């Protein structure tokens, strides 16, 4: 059997573990949570056991805990391991640019490179949805890595499942796409909640993808990643998925709910709102015009009439074309 370790027992981690086990992999799930037994999946509370069990380790903890968990996990990893994260987020670090004293944004693979002895990394992204994955429905996922053995290992881990794996060498691009799509999903939920028609929602989404692409290119990503499954494909999935937390948050904001109370009511961690202001600052420093992302960052969705905001954003200047 093909051994795989999944570190992180949230809904996404459990879905990945379930899919891999369904395909015939030997899966060990590291989690501190109690839960219903998962066919083909063993549980452990030991990071050492998770590292020993498999060469391929999938990390699915919240982005705020990636550095801490990475450091603890790194004590049990070595250069033999392949470490792939499935986390939507970026990390804020003290500026590494001499002329700038604020925060920089770095990818989570950069954080893991700093905290572990592993040198072969990857990231998961694309339009795959947690519910579809858990139920064993046909779905699509993207894996990015500079290393062919990482891409092959992920494909092998899910080979017997109903999931189609696409690959890309643009690791930076997929990580930024996954993070920024979460922010855009809030905006899409808001547009839908504002009663915007399907045609305008699609135009809104296209504008958002172009904004995100320009920002990510400034960070070293490839623009084409954002027009493919890792970017626009992921956002399309968000548009069609009522249960995605970021979309539900956007819907709540369109109803006039305050962000704090809306998030509390959802009962889920939504990293898009805390990330958005940092992305807006990054965009401004690099001269990128991004009105939709700015609207999320500065809380405009909670302050004005919903149709008025959509109208303002759709008429805002935008470089690069539609």
The kind and range of the H/E element at 56 are: strand 56-59
- At 292, is the pLDDT very low, low, confident or very high (cuts 50, 70, 90)? confident
Residue 253 backbone phi and psi in degrees, to 5: -65, -35
Let me know if residue 160 belongs to a domain.
yes
Residue 302 clears pLDDT 60, i.e. is over it: no
> Helix, strand, or coil here: 114?
helix
Query: Does residue 140 share a domain with residue 287?
Result: no
Lowest mean pLDDT among 32-36, 54-58, 168-172: 32-36
Query: Does residue 182 share a domain with residue 62?
Result: no
Residue 321 clears pLDDT 50, i.e. is over it: no
Residue 303 clears pLDDT 80, i.e. is over it: no
| CB-neighbour burial class of residue 162 (10 A; exposed 0-12, middle 13-18, buried 19+) | middle
- At 240, is the pLDDT very low, low, confident or very high (cuts 50, 70, 90)? confident
- At 193, is the pLDDT very low, low, confident or very high (cuts 50, 70, 90)? confident
Query: Does residue 231 share a domain with residue 250?
Result: yes
Query: Does residue 188 share a domain with residue 88?
Result: no
Let me know if residue 151 belongs to a domain.
yes
Q: Are 87 and 125 spatial neighbours (Cβ–Cβ below 8 Å)?
A: no
Let me know if residue 229 belongs to a domain.
yes
Query: Does residue 101 share a domain with residue 28?
Result: yes
Q: What percent of the chain has pLDDT over 70?
A: 91
Let me know if residue 321 belongs to a domain.
no
Query: Does residue 273 share a domain with residue 240?
Result: yes
Query: Does residue 153 share a domain with residue 179?
Result: no
Q: Of the residues 169, 197, 231, which one is the last residue of a structural domain?
A: 169
Q: Of the residues 143, 169, 195, which one is the last residue of a structural domain?
A: 169
Q: Domain holding 279: CATH number? A: 1.10.1040.10
Q: 68 Cβ partners below 8 Å, 6+ apart?
A: none
- At 228, is the pLDDT very low, low, confident or very high (cuts 50, 70, 90)? very high
Q: Domain holding 18: CATH number? A: 3.40.50.720
DSSP 79: T
- At 14, is the pLDDT very low, low, confident or very high (cuts 50, 70, 90)? very high
Residue 1 clears pLDDT 80, i.e. is over it: no
Let me know if residue 213 belongs to a domain.
yes
Report CA torsion sign: 43, 45, 47, 48.
negative
Query: Does residue 200 share a domain with residue 142?
Result: no
Let me know if residue 281 belongs to a domain.
yes
Mean pLDDT, rounded, for 264-283:
87
- Domains identified in the chain, total number: 2
Task: Give residue 316's pLDDT.
Answer: 64
Let me know if residue 147 belongs to a domain.
yes
Mean pLDDT, rounded, for 140-168:
94
Task: Give residue 100's pLDDT.
Answer: 62
- At 320, is the pLDDT very low, low, confident or very high (cuts 50, 70, 90)? very low
Mean pLDDT, rounded, for 203-229:
93
Query: Does residue 185 share a domain with residue 145?
Result: no
Let me know if residue 141 belongs to a domain.
yes
Task: Give residue 322's pLDDT.
Answer: 42
Query: Does residue 178 share a domain with residue 155?
Result: no
Query: Does residue 126 share a domain with residue 36?
Result: yes
Q: From CA 122, how far away is CA 120, in angstroms rounded?
A: 7
Domain residue limits at 267 = 172-314
Q: Of the residues 149, 169, 189, which one is the last residue of a structural domain?
A: 169
Task: Give residue 154's pLDDT.
Answer: 97
Task: Give residue 36's pLDDT.
Answer: 84
- At 149, is the pLDDT very low, low, confident or very high (cuts 50, 70, 90)? very high
Task: Give residue 13's pLDDT.
Answer: 96
Mean pLDDT, rounded, for 230-252:
86
Task: Give residue 314's pLDDT.
Answer: 66
Mean pLDDT, rounded, for 72-88:
97
Q: From CA 154, how far away is CA 156, in angstroms rounded?
A: 5
| CB-neighbour burial class of residue 295 (10 A; exposed 0-12, middle 13-18, buried 19+) | buried
Mean pLDDT, rounded, for 135-152:
96
Query: Does residue 134 share a domain with residue 218?
Result: no
Mean pLDDT, rounded, for 93-117:
84
Give the full edge-to-edge strand order of the sheet including 56-59.
41-44, 26-30, 3-7, 56-59, 82-85, 121-125, 139-144, 163-168
Task: Give residue 83's pLDDT.
Answer: 98
């Amino acid at each position: 059997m093909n051994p795989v370790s999944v570190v992180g027992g949230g809904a996404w981690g459990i879905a990945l573990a379930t899919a891999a086990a369904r395909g015939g992999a030997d899966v060990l799930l590291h989690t501190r949570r109690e839960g219903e037994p998962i066919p083909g999946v063993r549980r452990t509370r030991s990071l050492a056991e998770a590292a020993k069990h498999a060469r391929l380790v999938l990390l699915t903890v919240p982005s705020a805990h990636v550095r801490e968990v990475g450091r603890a996990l790194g004590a049990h990893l070595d250069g033999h391991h392949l470490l792939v994260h499935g986390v939507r987020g970026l990390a804020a670090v003290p500026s590494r640019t001499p002329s700038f004293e604020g925060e920089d944004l770095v990818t989570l693979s950069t954080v893991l490179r700093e905290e572990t002895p592993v040198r072969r990394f990857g990231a998961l992204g694309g339009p795959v949805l947690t519910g579809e994955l858990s139920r064993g429905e046909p779905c699509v996922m993207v894996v990015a890595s500079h290393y062919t053995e990482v891409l092959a290992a992920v494909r092998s881990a899910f080979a017997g499942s109903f999931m189609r794996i696409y690959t890309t060498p643009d690791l930076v691009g997929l990580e930024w796409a996954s993070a920024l799509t979460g922010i855009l999903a809030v905006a899409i939920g808001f547009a839908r909640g504002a009663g915007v028609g399907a045609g305008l929602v699609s135009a809104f989404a296209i504008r958002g993808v172009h904004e995100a692409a320009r920002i990510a290119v400034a960070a070293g990503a490839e623009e084409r990643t954002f027009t493919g499954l890792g970017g626009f494909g992921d956002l399309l999935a968000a548009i069609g998925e009522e249960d995605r937390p970021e979309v539900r948050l956007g819907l709540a904001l369109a109803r006039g709910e305050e962000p704090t109370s809306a998030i509390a009511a959802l009962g889920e961690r939504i990293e898009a709102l805390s990330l958005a202001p940092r992305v807006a600052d990054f965009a401004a420093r690099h001269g990128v015009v991004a009105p939709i992302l700015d609207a999320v960052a500065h809380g405009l969705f909670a302050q004005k009439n919903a149709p008025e905001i959509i109208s303002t954003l759709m008429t805002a200047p935008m470089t690069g074309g539609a």
